[in-house]
Amino acid sequence: MCLVYPNSYFVGMSNLGFQAVYHILNSLDYVVCERVFLPDAGDIREFDRTNTCLFSLESQRPLAEFDIIAFSISFEEDYLNILKIFDFAKIPFLSSERNKAKPLIMAGGVAVTLNPEPIADFFDLFAVGEGEEFIPEFLDAFRTAYHKARTKQGLLQALIAAAGVYIPSFYHISYQGNLIKEFKPANGSPEKIKSRKVKNLNAFPTPASNILTNETNFRNTYLLEVERGCGRGCRFCAAGFVYLPPRERGLQSLKDEVLEGMAATKKIGFVGAAVSEYSGLKPLCKTVIENAGELTLSSIRLDALDQDNLQLFKNGGYKTMTIAPEAGSERLRDVINKRISEKDIIMSTSLISKAGIQKLKLYFIIGLPTETIEDIETIVNLVLKIKTAMHGGLITVSINPFIPKPFTPFQWCGYEDMESLKNKMDIIKKGLKIEKGIKLSFLSLRQGYIQTLLSVGDRRVGKILLSAYAKGWKGALKNAAADADFYANRPRGFSEILPWDFIDTVIKKEYLLEEYERALKAQTTPPCNVGKCVRCGVCDI
């Protein structure tokens, strides 16, 4: 097998999920798994000059010679890189143009679990959901089928029964105008693809960095997954819904893993959707600190920032604290179900300052449902109040446009008009640009538009991707302006078939709609009560 990350080595090896899958595959005694990454700019020129096919990192085997090519895809922004890798490997873009059984080209990862349709025509099959149980089950089925099947069609037919497998060519889609009229399975395929989910994380080895390198975002850091999923229910957050229910790993096994990691490096990073929610966080952090280690966490909620935790983070080498108010006004934070008051934000900021941490990163979203200009103005006011509470230091304010995601209460929303978003950005710039000690960062509005197109588009978006690869995004969007706007800017009807409706994450669609309606009324919903509440449907199985 060849495991492909459609971005640079630096980005791919910063991804703990990619490293975990690589480790699982090579732990199987009948699998040899190697890696491929998107070549750097200088290497790309050399590939072109020498007409060399893209090859694996470990043995320099050409990509097309593997039995299985498996892409690990976390971000929609990397979709164009998939085509670049096919091109460098001299592999036809479309699955329909690849008739041989070898190599089988598949993809998994959170991006395709949410909505694989924009890239459906490029892959033979997708793995939907979490991989720990899926990987050995699928490969057992593949081994049995591979020795019997003489054609790719026969191989795919034999893999239909593998739970979590989605084979796009076995589904027929009809349209009524621009809307999906029918999404119909064929060849014995199931109507719904159930997203794979691990109930007991402790039954599987803890995903951890098996390869340490300077060439990542986390230089020589031993990354360790402590929990998976978040029950807070922020209505814009796909990870918060698709990974439900929240699950934790055992404290003692994590302590043992920390000590094992510290034999190789003193830098330890805890990873998860809601690390600060982990029940054993304090003793786990103490294990690192007591052994003279450095500490980093992938996410910290404001309401977890008490004096004890902050002192632990400071002792663990924290120099920069990151918090995400997301919205300026309390009303809008209620809309997105953030449930954090301005008083909480200022109090947490004061505690950060008292702990001696003098660098602060703030994350805000603009273009949220029901947002007004007054809400934008409160971002400026809140940042200024935070600056006062910090008593000096540096504050970096990151502003990102809202991007609707599948399987969230806001999946029916559209991306806001770019002229309106630009106006909102200008208000923030005007209010904060001259302030000393504040640095502003904005995601490109066009990048946000493209990400929305790739997040919520259907199978026809693949043609826009092919055009973007040939002409660049500017030319592709110019030629497909009306179609692209239909996917990106249009609010979706509650009764229409959504491109990802065939995926069963066990979350009730009715629940997501109820949450959307509560959002419009600025009504909050309490966090998950795992195993006791059945409102979303995940624990009702």
Tokens of 511: 């629940």
pLDDT at residue 303 in the model: 79
Q: What is d(CA 168, CA 161) in angstroms, rounded to the nearest whole number?
A: 14
Domain membership of residue 377 (yes or no) is: no
Q: What element of type H or E holds 163?
A: none
Domain membership of residue 501 (yes or no) is: no
Domain membership of residue 160 (yes or no) is: yes
Domain membership of residue 495 (yes or no) is: no
Domain membership of residue 376 (yes or no) is: no
Span of 207-216, 379-388, 454-463 with lowest mean pLDDT = 207-216
| Residue-range definition of the domain harbouring residue 168 | 2-194
Query: b/e string for 441-458 if b means 16 or more Cβ within 10 A?
Result: ebbebeebbbbbbbbbbb
Residue range 363-408, pLDDT digits in tens? 999 999 999 999 999 999 999 999 999 999 999 999 999 999 999 9
Domain membership of residue 517 (yes or no) is: no
Share of the chain above pLDDT 90, in %: 83
Q: Which residue has the higher pLDDT, 301 or 136?
A: 136
Share of the chain above pLDDT 70, in %: 98
Q: Which residue has the higher pLDDT, 97 or 299?
A: 97
pLDDT at residue 301 in the model: 84
Single pTM value for the model: 0.95
Q: What is d(CA 308, CA 442) in angstroms, rounded to the nearest whole number?
A: 33
pLDDT category of residue 18 using cuts at 50, 70 and 90: very high
Answer yes or no: is pLDDT of 215 > 80: no
8 Å CB contact between 37 and 12: yes
Q: What is d(CA 269, CA 258) in angstroms, rounded to the nearest whole number?
A: 9
Residues shown for the chain: 541
Answer yes or no: is pLDDT of 432 > 60: yes
Q: What average pLDDT does the structure give for the chain?
A: 94
8 Å CB contact between 307 and 351: yes
pLDDT category of residue 46 using cuts at 50, 70 and 90: confident
Answer yes or no: is pLDDT of 173 > 90: yes
Long-range contacts of 373-377 (CB under 8 A, 24+ apart): 373/424, 373/427, 374/329, 375/327, 375/328, 375/329, 375/331, 375/332, 376/328, 376/424, 376/427, 376/428, 377/328, 377/427, 377/431
Residue range 100-140, pLDDT digits in tens? 878 999 999 999 999 999 999 999 999 999 999 999 999 99
pLDDT at residue 124 in the model: 98
pLDDT at residue 251 in the model: 96
CA-wise closest residue to 486 among 445, 457, 463: 457
Domain membership of residue 363 (yes or no) is: no
8 Å CB contact between 508 and 539: no
Residue range 485-510, pLDDT digits in tens? 999 999 999 999 999 999 999 999 99
According to DSSP, the β-strands at 267-271 and 221-225 are parallel
pLDDT category of residue 221 using cuts at 50, 70 and 90: confident
Answer yes or no: is pLDDT of 212 > 80: no
pLDDT at residue 102 in the model: 85
Structural domains counted in the chain = 1
**Average pLDDT for 2-29:** 94
Domain membership of residue 308 (yes or no) is: no
Q: What is d(CA 524, CA 515) in angstroms, rounded to the nearest whole number?
A: 9
Answer yes or no: is pLDDT of 541 > 60: no
pLDDT at residue 220 in the model: 80
